[in-house]
Chains A and B, each alone.
Chain A
């Protein structure tokens, strides 16, 4: 459903994504991993047309994203950002209602009954219904993330992109958010692509992974194919050990603290 072909794009400051190729099939859950500064967030910006493409193309259901309007893209792709920086506060319910903006007609001033139903469903699905009167800036990290997912859901997208959805959360909330995403993926047939820093969570939850390194795709495939110690040591520049998780059976990555001491004890 989403195809990225020979994509090259970058910032005027010099960082560049080069020759990116990958495909995202319907109902897939893909993780984007890679070191800091490898271009993960830049890739999301390119897909949503925030950053102009220099070469290559991005196809959504066969249609070129470059030729679509912002509004049309917003009805198909929703983004949950890493964090919000809101100077002026609004209630959670108003916040989620903002996700209906791509569907507003030019002279529509008030949300319709359908909008309300969609918002209510999303609030209940993400378990934020009881928070709807609260102000967004008063929420905890996990609550904000759930509200942000709710806001993305009311855009009724075909693809949901998330930028490090679990990075500020404790393990309990990490699992809560990712279980929610998995449920949306399996039960609501939502295609999802998320940036991860935690390779083990990525391995446990994603159908496939895209490993970026310095603006290029290093490898892509199932977690077993991508998370090998050879690639990870090369990309992250630190020794690692990869073993199967005793819970999920998926590859888990263990870092090696102060490796020189381990070498001595050999």
Chain B
């Protein structure tokens, strides 16, 4: 291997190590802060199994951190994959209306009172069903003679997203006051998820997404040149687009069903990572996954401490923090380029 390529491999490895350390540091930070703060050495040395502190740390905070990491990673990965197949830096997981479908599913569930009969677990399930319906509609609207038309897909997605939000407003207008609070809170997104099985499902889902994204990293690289050029490089473009679209959609749908709408992670994180590591999907996928997970865990920690003991919805933090960082990064990029 030439020195140049070795250097590249070394810099990629360093970058991944830095990100891993960053994720670890944020994890520890997030474990320590909250309505009751702990020192790190306390966690290691003095808190005994069975004490109430132990329960707060490992039954409440740790699952929340793991869920945050999985959802943040999944959303960011979905964002970077969709940007790759649409060849458009403005596409994010929520552009396609999948989140709208999921919210609609959950809202319907609440308004019809299904959750009261079938239990709370039916909420994420109806969310996922709503998202899936949108995915299927999108897919069949934009498939034309076995060719998936990306611009049609994007337009349909934006339209479905509008239709969903209008239907949502309709439902909210006719629903009872006690349901409204639940709907709004769910829409704003929260990583509080008492169901351990769902947390683990989210983890498995996002890791599965990461693995799939690596099977297609060269296809995504080829797609940088355009669909025809990718085909000239021997890529089966149609198959790639379809599989990646479904993967990204399922990642999005699942994340929204488990944690509600947590905006901006899927747009901001890929954009940020591209500035640092470039556009090679071999390094992009893992970096986006790690940074996205870390970012969401960090935002969630902030959401818990800003007005402690009360909690802010995490979507508020990602929106404010993410939006500001996004504008800053664009300004900085402009200054560099001149």
Binding site for B on A (CB under 8 A): 12, 45, 48-50, 69-75, 77-79, 81, 84-91, 93-94, 98-99, 101-102, 104, 109-111, 113, 116, 155
Contacts and interface: CB of A to CB of B under 8 A. Distances in A.
Interface stretch (B32-40, B150-158, B216-224): B216-224
A71 B232 CA distance: 8
A116 B2 contact: yes
Contacts, number: 79
B233 A50 contact: no
Contacts of A98: 221-222, 224-225, 233
B329 interface: no
A230 B83 CA distance: 51
A89 to B, nearest CB: 7
B235 A111 contact: no
A101 B233 contact: yes
A87 B218 contact: no
Interface string B39-69: 0000000000000000000000000000000
Interface residues on B, range: 20 to 34
Interface of B: 1-2, 4-5, 9, 83, 87-89, 145, 218, 221-222, 224-226, 228-229, 231-236, 274, 278-280, 282
A84 B280 contact: no
B145 A12 contact: yes
A101 B228 contact: no
Contact of B234 (A70, A85, A86, A89): A70
A69 B145 CA distance: 20
Given A98-B221, A116-B5, A88 B233 contact: no
A154 to B, nearest CB: 10
Nearest to A80: B232
Contacts of B87: 87-88
Contacts of A12: 145
Nearest to B145: A12
B235 A70 contact: yes
A78 B232 contact: yes
B84 to A, nearest CB: 8
B9, B89, B224, most chain A CB atoms within 10 A: B224
Contacts of A101: 218, 221-222, 233-235
A104 B218 contact: yes
A72 to B, nearest CB: 8
Contacts of A111: 5
Nearest to A49: B231
Contacts of A85: 226
B5, B218, B233, most chain A CB atoms within 10 A: B233
B88, B225, B274, most chain A CB atoms within 10 A: B225
B234 A88 contact: no
A71 B279 contact: no
Contact of A155 (B83, B228, B231, B233): B233
A90 B278 CA distance: 7
A90 B9 CA distance: 16
B234 A75 contact: yes
B221 to A, nearest CB: 6
A117 B72 CA distance: 40
8 contacts: A48-B232, A50-B232, A71-B234, A84-B229, A87-B87, A87-B224, A88-B83, A99-B233
Nearest to A132: B4
A111 B280 CA distance: 13
Contacts of A87: 87-89, 224
Contacts of A89: 279
Nearest to A107: B215
Contact of A88 (B5, B9, B232, B279): B279
Given A88-B279, A116-B2, 4 more contacts: A88-B89, A94-B278, A98-B224, A99-B233
Contact of B232 (A74, A86, A93): A74
A88 B224 contact: yes
Given A90-B279, A94-B280, A109-B282, A84 B231 contact: no
A228 to B, nearest CB: 34
5 closest A-B pairs by beta carbon, nearest first, are: A74-B234, A71-B234, A102-B234, A88-B279, A79-B232
A111 B217 CA distance: 13
Contacts of B222: 98, 101
B9 A110 contact: yes
Nearest to B221: A98
B25 to A, nearest CB: 28
Contacts of A88: 83, 87, 89, 224, 274, 279
B95 to A, nearest CB: 15
